[in-house]
């Protein structure tokens, strides 16, 4: 019991840094418009849904954190689903931001009847529910009703499949890409970087020519684990944070900060603002952050995007999970809705409306998506070729957050001794996993 309680507390306390989507990935996941007046809005929504439901319909409840344009896109898709499936009523319940949604789930765990039929969630959030055998196994539903499951991008399937079971279906997904000032790149004759070394060299040239940092990474935790993944090292409990590759990763960034050709987001929180103000020539951030790039730029200069400058890139975003508490009829209805949201057409529509990436190969290649008004659509087929997920284990989110805080501290202090800092941090990193 103590172990379960400590897991609950660790998950609640580790909500601080969800930088994708965690940078703009999670900044895009958490809409700037998400000032949700939950009490009044929910009361109105519940009343409307109660009135709308008719006898003979299977009703499913979906907890989510989509607001603003993202929420509108979800509502539109849900209305279309209900029109095509009049025997099913979907009750959407917005729980606020991601942290609010996670806290609502944790609070309801001790009273399972209060949980929804399905929920939007990050894999880490569901660990406690899996341990309590509260998450429905979707394998049978997928095999019997979903003949296009293999069309889901491999890196995403890797995340939703655990121990031979399919645990979820993808919803709002993203990965990191390279955003750059195309006018500046053209002026200096620079090419899109395809490696960390090329990124560094371009950043140096921009700094020499314009006196501004040439590049930066929106999410420090994402930079670190992606750099290591491209060295063949996973971010998990077995990671020795004092290993040569770990020291190399941090010195790569720190050297650039010292010499002025790299910068971190710092108090700006995200680099889309400094990028738009021509205070940095390029940055690595979530593809789902395009709406913020456009908004900040407001046509000041032409921007462009290219795949992450390394072989593998980190995939982020949430999935939809079903709780194993409802009747067979309600679970069948819930799966039909989940299958609809994960379908090619729905993924294209949601991607075009919100900036998230489609989770299906056929959707990524679809003309309706590729010809949309997005710099991401033409490059996403390549950008999504080799996606990877963070290894899922109790404590991994806490370790991820703590690593981000450590990197922020080191990169804010050019005189930092990287090896000494990592040696001092190693016990905490190990404890993050062991405490859970």
Q: What pLDDT digit, counting tens, does each position of 85-144 carry?
A: 999 999 999 999 999 999 999 999 989 999 999 999 999 999 999 999 999 999 999 999
CB within 8 Å of 313: residues ≥ 6 apart? 175, 176, 177, 226, 307, 383, 386, 387, 388
**Average pLDDT for 326-343:** 95
Give the CATH architecture of domain 10-173+317-381: 3-Layer(aba) Sandwich (3.40)
Contact 62, 119 (CB under 8 A): yes
* Model confidence band, residue 37 (pLDDT cutoffs 50, 70, 90): very low
What per-residue confidence (pLDDT) applies to 392? 83
Superfamily of domain 176-314: Periplasmic binding protein-like II (3.40.190.10)
Contact 124, 236 (CB under 8 A): no
**pLDDT tens for residues 160-179?**
998 899 999 999 999 999 99
Q: What are phi and psi of 174, to 5 degrees?
A: -155, 170
**Per-domain boundaries in the chain:** 10-173+317-381, 176-314
Q: What are phi and psi of 96, to 5 degrees?
A: 95, -140
Which two tokens mark 429?
Answer: 């990193």
Q: Quick check: do 10-173+317-381 and 176-314 share a fold?
A: yes
* Mean pLDDT value across the chain: 88
CB atoms within 10 A of CB 140: 12
Unique residue bearing structure tokens 């407001």 = 298
**pLDDT tens for residues 172-215?**
999 999 999 999 999 999 999 999 999 999 999 999 999 999 99
pTM of the predicted protein model = 0.82
CB within 8 Å of 77: residues ≥ 6 apart? 340, 341, 346, 349, 350
């Amino acid at each position: 019991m103590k172990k379960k309680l400590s897991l609950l507390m660790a998950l609640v306390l580790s909500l601080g840094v969800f930088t994708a989507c965690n940078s703009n990935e999670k900044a895009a996941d958490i809409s700037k418009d998400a000032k949700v007046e939950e009490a009044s809005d929910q009361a109105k929504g519940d009343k409307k849904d109660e009135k709308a439901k008719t006898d003979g319909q299977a009703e499913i409840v979906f907890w989510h954190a989509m607001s603003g344009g993202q929420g509108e896109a979800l509502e539109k898709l849900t209305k279309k689903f209900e029109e095509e499936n009049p025997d099913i009523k979907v009750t959407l319940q917005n729980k606020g931001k991601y942290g609010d949604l996670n806290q609502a789930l944790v609070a309801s765990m001790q009273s399972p009847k209060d949980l929804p039929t399905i929920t939007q969630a990050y894999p880490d959030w569901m660990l406690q529910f899996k341990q309590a055998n509260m998450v429905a196994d979707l394998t049978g539903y997928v095999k019997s009703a979903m003949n296009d499951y293999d069309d889901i991008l491999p890196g995403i399937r890797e995340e939703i499949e655990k121990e031979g079971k399919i645990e979820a279906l993808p919803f709002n997904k993203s990965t990191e890409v390279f955003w750059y000032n195309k006018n500046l790149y053209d002026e200096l004759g620079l090419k899109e970087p395809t490696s960390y070394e090329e990124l560094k060299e371009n950043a140096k040239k921009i700094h020499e020519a314009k006196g501004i940092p040439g590049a930066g990474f929106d999410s420090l935790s994402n930079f670190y684990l992606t750099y290591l993944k491209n060295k063949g090292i996973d971010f998990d409990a077995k990671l020795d944070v004092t290993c040569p590759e770990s020291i190399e990763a941090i010195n790569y960034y720190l050297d650039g900060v010292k010499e002025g050709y790299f910068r971190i987001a710092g108090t700006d929180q995200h680099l889309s603002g400094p990028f738009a103000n021509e205070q940095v020539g390029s940055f690595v951030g979530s593809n789902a952050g395009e709406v913020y790039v456009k908004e900040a730029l407001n046509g000041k200069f032409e921007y462009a995007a290219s795949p992450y400058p390394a072989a593998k890139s980190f995939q982020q975003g949430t999935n939809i999970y079903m709780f194993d508490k409802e009747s067979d009829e309600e679970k069948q209805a819930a799966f039909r809705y989940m299958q609809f949201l994960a379908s090619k057409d729905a993924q294209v529509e949601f991607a075009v409306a919100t900036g998230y990436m489609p989770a299906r190969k056929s959707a990524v290649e679809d003309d309706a998506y590729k010809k949309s008004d997005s710099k991401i659509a033409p490059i996403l087929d390549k950008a999504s070729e080799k996606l990877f997920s963070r290894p899922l284990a109790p404590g991994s989110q806490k370790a991820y957050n703590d690593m981000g805080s450590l990197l922020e501290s080191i990169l804010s202090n050019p005189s930092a001794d990287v090896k000494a800092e990592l040696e001092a941090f190693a016990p905490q990193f190990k404890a993050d996993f062991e405490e859970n």
